[in-house]
Amino acid sequence: MPLSYSSDLSIFTNKNENGVKLSDRLNSILTNSKYFDVLVGYFRITGFYLLKERLEDIEEIRILIGLGADLETIKAVDIFELSGANALLKVKEIIKKEFNSTTDDNLDMENGVIKFCEWINSGKLKVRMCYEQNVHAKLYIVRKNSDIVPDQYGNLITGSSNFTFSGLEKNVEFNVELKDRTNVEYALNFFEELWSTSKDITIDILNTIKNDTWMNKNITPYELFLKTIFVYFEEEIQTRKQDYDWPEGYMNLQYQEDAVTQARKILARHGGVIISDVVGLGKTYIAAMLGKLLDGRKLFIVPPVVKDNWEGVLAEFGYKMSDKVVSLGIVDQVSEWDDLESFKYVFVDEAHRFRNESSTEFQHLKKICYGKGVILITATPQNNTILDIAHLITLFQDSRNSSIIPGTQDLEKYFSDLHKTLKISGNDPEVVSEVASKIRDNVLRHILIRRTRTEISKYYSEDLEKQGLTFPKVNDPIRLEYMYEPDMEDTFNDTIDLLKDFSYARYAPLLYLKDKKKLGSNKARQQNMMGFVKTMLIKRLESSIYAFIESVERLKRSSESFINLYNSGRIVVGSVSKTKFDYSDFEKMDEELFNLTVESNDIDCFEPNDFVNGYIEKVKHDDEILQEILDMW
Boundaries of every domain in the chain: 11-212, 237-467, 486-632
Find which of 89-98, 141-150, 242-251, 418-427 is predicted with most confidence, using mean pLDDT.
141-150
Nearest of 273, 288, 304 to residue 375 by alpha carbon: 273
Q: What is the mean pLDDT of the chain?
A: 81
Is the pLDDT higher at 545 or at 51?
51
pLDDT at 537 over 50: yes
Mean pLDDT is lowest, of 203-212, 509-518, 551-560, 565-574, for 203-212
pLDDT at 221: 81
Instruction: Classify 139 as helix, strand or coil.
Output: strand
How far apart are alpha carbons 160 and 157 in whole angstroms?
10
Instruction: Classify 476 as helix, strand or coil.
Output: coil
Nearest of 583, 570, 575 to residue 610 by alpha carbon: 570
pLDDT at 373: 95
Mean pLDDT is lowest, of 58-72, 125-139, 263-277, 403-417, for 58-72
Contact (CB, 8 A) for 294 and 265 = no
Q: For residue range 263-294, what is the model confidence (pLDDT) as tens digits?
A: 999 999 999 999 999 888 899 999 999 999 99
Is the pLDDT higher at 324 or at 198?
324
pLDDT at 292: 93
How far apart are alpha carbons 196 and 394 in whole angstroms?
67
Q: Rounded to the nearest 10 degrees, how much is the dihedral formed by the CA atoms of 64, 65, 68, 70?
A: 160
What average pLDDT does the segment 59-74 reach? 65
Which residues have CB under 8 Å from 425's CB, separation 6+? Answer: 431, 432
pLDDT at 188 over 80: yes
pLDDT at 114 over 80: no
Instruction: Starting at the earlier edge strand, list the strands of the sheet with 272-275.
Output: 324-327, 297-302, 343-349, 373-377, 272-275, 448-449
Nearest of 36, 45, 72 to residue 205 by alpha carbon: 45
> What letter would DSSP give residue 1?
-
> What letter would DSSP give residue 358?
T
The band of 601, judged by pLDDT with boundaries at 50, 70 and 90, is very low
pLDDT at 600: 42
Nearest of 272, 328, 40, 54 to residue 167 by alpha carbon: 40
pLDDT at 259: 93
Burial of 103 (0-12, 13-18, 19+ CB in 10 A): exposed
pLDDT at 132 over 70: no
The band of 584, judged by pLDDT with boundaries at 50, 70 and 90, is very low
pLDDT at 366: 94
Is the pLDDT higher at 245 or at 398?
398
Instruction: Classify 401 as helix, strand or coil.
Output: coil
How far apart are alpha carbons 143 and 37 in whole angstroms?
9
pLDDT at 581 over 50: no
pLDDT at 164: 82
pLDDT at 435 over 80: yes
Q: In the CATH hierarchy, which top-level class contains the domain 11-212?
A: alpha beta
How far apart are alpha carbons 17 and 3 in whole angstroms?
11
CATH H superfamily, domain 237-467:
Tandem AAA-ATPase domain (3.40.50.10810)
Contact (CB, 8 A) for 350 and 378 = yes
pLDDT at 258 over 80: yes
The band of 368, judged by pLDDT with boundaries at 50, 70 and 90, is very high
Give the number of other CB atoms < 10 A from CB of residue 550. Answer: 12
pLDDT at 215 over 60: no
Sign of CA dihedral 423, 427, 428, 433: positive
pLDDT at 603: 60
pLDDT at 377: 96
Percent of the chain with pLDDT over 90: 33
Mean pLDDT is lowest, of 19-23, 378-382, 411-415, for 19-23
Cα 358 from chain centroid (whole Å) = 24
pLDDT at 579: 38
pLDDT at 545: 81
pLDDT at 381: 86
pLDDT at 46: 60
pLDDT at 59: 94
pLDDT at 283: 94
Nearest of 86, 91, 37 to residue 206 by alpha carbon: 91
pLDDT at 316 over 60: yes
How far apart are alpha carbons 46 and 462 in whole angstroms?
44
What average pLDDT does the segment 372-387 reach? 88
pLDDT at 489: 76
Cα 482 from chain centroid (whole Å) = 51
Find which of 70-74, 120-124, 576-580 is predicted with most confidence, using mean pLDDT.
120-124
Instruction: Starting at the earlier edge strand, list the strands of the sheet with 11-12.
Output: 11-12, 175-178, 154-159, 139-144, 33-40, 60-66, 125-130, 199-200
pLDDT at 340: 94
What average pLDDT does the segment 499-514 reach? 87
How far apart are alpha carbons 539 and 532 in whole angstroms?
11
pLDDT at 317: 94
pLDDT at 592: 52
Percent of the chain with pLDDT over 70: 81
pLDDT at 81 over 60: no
pLDDT at 598: 42
